[in-house]
Structure 1
Amino acid sequence: MKLTELEFYLEDFLIYCQSRNLSNKTISSYEQSLKLFIVYLKNEQEIEEPEKVKSGHIRQYIKYCQERGKYTVVASEKSRQINHPQNRTDYKKTISNITINNYIRIIKVFFNWLHKEGEIRKNPVENIEKIKTVRRKKVEITEKEFRALLEEFDYTKFHGYRNKIIVMLLQDTGMRISETLALKVDNIDFKHRMILVTKTKGKKERYVFFSQQMNRELRHYIQFKERYTSSSLLFPTMRNTEMSVHSFEKQLKQVASRIELSVHPHQIRNNFARQYLMNGGDIYTLSRILGHSSVKVTEEAYLDLTDEEIAKKYHNHSPLAKWRI
């Protein structure tokens, strides 16, 4: 089947993304979002050439997504028959402005690339702006909740002890769960209490650091692990393979549900960042620890402290109080 012009350029764009070593997750997100937009242009606007796409078409697509709701637009009928989106509990529910803004961001990346490549004369995304969103405060896990969560893991069993150490390490280092599950024992430098993270989102290695308490816990866990598996992975499955993110999320959810706690691995990473700032850490060092591409990303993600938290932070760091005048 012959590709339309837009479909051809999408394939070319994805090859370009691969040449830049973008992660598979990012490329997959680009492909999925842009295919849906191209289907909309073809079916609703009868447009198959990038040169014909105007700013108004993009704005109308945004409105179209908002009105149609979740999973109502599919890349192909074959996809609908396989995945049956109409059976989902959130089918047709309102798409959040955060998700819409992600669609806009991806469309802008694609058309900016087309313009830079000289494939279009006028760039239709030049004046397209993101939708204003109401920032939701990140849900904090309290010390009491965290202690209760740790007590729910059955540390007499390999998988229970392994998962408990993973949760502790997330809270102590701020690593992403995907980075944590890919760790090998050799990545740990016990002398300097740091870990070399190699499987990162931006494919750029970095070091994270852990506490003296975590040092003891990790040493004890590794001795325990070696009685069950010979894998070089720090947190392997019983089959000596790398545990999937989905599998860990599912197991964590099951344990947390026993104390009626809703918790997600990324939430623990957020918790680390928030506590790091509250304990006097600076945003620039935090940005490097988290592996963000820029300090701006960190600021946008974590500078939403409440008045009470700001007051507490002030009292801990008042210059005059420190001088004891």
Structure 2
Amino acid sequence: MPEPLAAALAPVWVEGYLGWLATQRRAAALTLENYRRDLLRLHRLAQGRDPGALSAAEILRFVGRMHAEGLGGRSIARCLSAWRGLYRWLIRHHGLNHNPVDGIRAPKSPATLPRVLSPDQAKALLDAPADSLLEIRDLAMFELFYSSGLRLSELAGLGLDDASDLEGGMVTVRGKRGKTRSVPVGNQAVEAVKQWLEVRGQVPVGSPTLFVTRTGGRMSPGAIRSRLTLRAGTVGLGVHVHPHMLRHSFASHVLQSSGDLRAVQELLGHASIRTTQVYTHLDFQHLARIYDAAHPRARKTKE
């Protein structure tokens, strides 16, 4: 018999659904963190009402309120995805008979392209010397990030065993839903990781992950973000650099050099090539700049 719904979307339901995502769908830690935030937003908007009592019209009002508060279309779409999944879970496991989120769409956002570093900016970020223990670790992380186009969750989850084929120029990563793939690692990243492994024993290691904190614990996604921001500021890059920007830069630079979209899809671990196609637009922008600078009929005449 399905369990009766609580009188409100209490944290027990949030935890139950997140637990199911973690064990049955093998959702990444960052995905679970985002879903938790989105589900708690529904809890607040519902003001303690039973989720089974919410109508599609009320969900639509929630969407309008979030949009009016400045939440973008992509963020609202992610909220709706989390809510829709929660309701499907409640229907399957707890006897709810309707999903008020079905059919509701997020407002459209202006199309935006991923921000990327130029090759010179990437070089400046990674060529700065690493003198201290933590700087050696950071350089290894960011070289590997940019060299192999990893997701933040993939980098944070790397174990020592995953780097066992480092001499062969490969590393094994666990992507979305627990899927594993082997990706190539460039020579400079290999050397940076090897230097880190030589000094890793200087910290009281308590985690089997490849990259650890000064006290030996696992590097969290938030800690990796903070260290990247610190390094970008230290080298005077002049732009805010977030982890996914290194992944975007990897994809854009490989595509510019090779023109092989399928290869970039495989390297990034995208299930659909449609996800990868955004980088063709970035590549087109690069070609358009070259055209504007080089073609005599593209130059603006002086008035």
TM-score range, shorter chain: 0.7 to 0.9
Q: Say yes or no: does 1:132 pair with 2:134.
A: no
Q: Choose the corresponding residue for 1:179, options 132, 154, 159.
A: 154
Report what 2:294 is aligned to. Answer: none
**What is the rounded CA distance, in whole Å, between the counterparts of 1:31 and 1:233 in structure 2?**
25
**What is the rounded CA distance, in whole Å, between the counterparts of 1:9 and 1:159 in structure 2?**
40
Report what 2:34 is aligned to. Answer: 29
**Are the counterparts in 2 of residues 256 and 263 from structure 1 also a CA contact under 8 Å?**
yes
The residue type paired with residue 50 of structure 2 is E
Deviation at 1:36, TM superposition (A): 2.8
202 and 170 in structure 1: CA distance in 2 versus 1, 3 angstrom threshold: same
**What is the rounded CA distance, in whole Å, between the counterparts of 2:202 and 2:18 in structure 1?**
42
Report what 1:302 is aligned to. Answer: 279
202 and 280 in structure 1: CA distance in 2 versus 1, 3 angstrom threshold: same
Report what 2:145 is aligned to. Answer: 170
Q: Identify the range of structure 1 (260-269 vs 13-22) with the bigger mean alpha-carbon deviation.
A: 13-22
Report what 1:56 is aligned to. Answer: 57
**What is the rounded CA distance, in whole Å, between the counterparts of 1:193 and 1:58 in structure 2?**
50
Q: Choose the corresponding residue for 1:96, options 50, 60, 72.
A: 72
Report what 2:122 is aligned to. Answer: 146
Q: Choose the corresponding residue for 1:274, options 242, 246, 252.
A: 252
270 and 217 in structure 1: CA distance in 2 versus 1, 3 angstrom threshold: same
Report what 1:109 is aligned to. Answer: 85
SS at 1:305 equivalent: helix
Deviation at 1:109, TM superposition (A): 1.9
Report what 1:241 is aligned to. Answer: 217
Deviation by residue 1:75-121 (Cα, 9 ceiling, x = unmatched): xxxxxxxxxxxxxxxxxxx2222211211222222234445568344
Report matched runs for 1:176-255 at 5 Å.
Answer: 176-188=151-163, 189-198=165-174, 200-223=175-198, 225=199, 228-229=202-203, 231=205, 233-255=209-231
TM, length-normalised to structure 2: 0.76
Alignment root-mean-square deviation, CA: 3.3
**What is the rounded CA distance, in whole Å, between the counterparts of 2:167 and 2:231 in structure 1?**
33
Deviation at 1:176, TM superposition (A): 2.2
Deviation by residue 1:107-152 (Cα, 9 ceiling, x = unmatched): 2222344455683444433321222111222222112222222344
117 and 95 in structure 1: CA distance in 2 versus 1, 3 angstrom threshold: same
Deviation at 1:216, TM superposition (A): 4.0
What stretches of structure 2 of length at least 5 have no aligned partner?
Answer: 292-303
**Are the counterparts in 2 of residues 42 and 48 from structure 1 also a CA contact under 8 Å?**
no
**What is the rounded CA distance, in whole Å, between the counterparts of 1:245 and 1:12 in structure 2?**
23
**What is the rounded CA distance, in whole Å, between the counterparts of 2:122 and 2:239 in structure 1?**
10
Q: Say yes or no: does 1:285 pair with 2:260.
A: no
**Are the counterparts in 2 of residues 181 and 244 from structure 1 also a CA contact under 8 Å?**
yes
The residue type paired with residue 54 of structure 1 is S
TM, length-normalised to structure 1: 0.72
**What is the rounded CA distance, in whole Å, between the counterparts of 1:181 and 1:10 in structure 2?**
25
Report what 1:84 is aligned to. Answer: none
Deviation at 1:33, TM superposition (A): 2.2
SS at 1:105 equivalent: helix
**What is the rounded CA distance, in whole Å, between the counterparts of 1:311 and 1:138 in structure 2?**
17
Deviation by residue 1:184-240 (Cα, 9 ceiling, x = unmatched): 444221443101124x442222211112343344445544x2673585654333333
SS at 2:282 equivalent: coil
Deviation by residue 1:35-55 (Cα, 9 ceiling, x = unmatched): 332442346xxx5251x4322
Deviation at 1:11, TM superposition (A): 5.7
The residue type paired with residue 46 of structure 2 is L
**What is the rounded CA distance, in whole Å, between the counterparts of 1:34 and 1:313 in structure 2?**
46
**Are the counterparts in 2 of residues 114 and 120 from structure 1 also a CA contact under 8 Å?**
yes
**What is the rounded CA distance, in whole Å, between the counterparts of 1:62 and 1:35 in structure 2?**
14
Q: Say yes or no: does 1:3 pair with 2:6.
A: yes
**What is the rounded CA distance, in whole Å, between the counterparts of 2:200 and 2:35 in structure 1?**
41
Report what 1:321 is aligned to. Answer: none
Deviation at 1:172, TM superposition (A): 0.7
251 and 57 in structure 1: CA distance in 2 versus 1, 3 angstrom threshold: same
Deviation by residue 1:226-256 (Cα, 9 ceiling, x = unmatched): 6735856543333333333322322322232
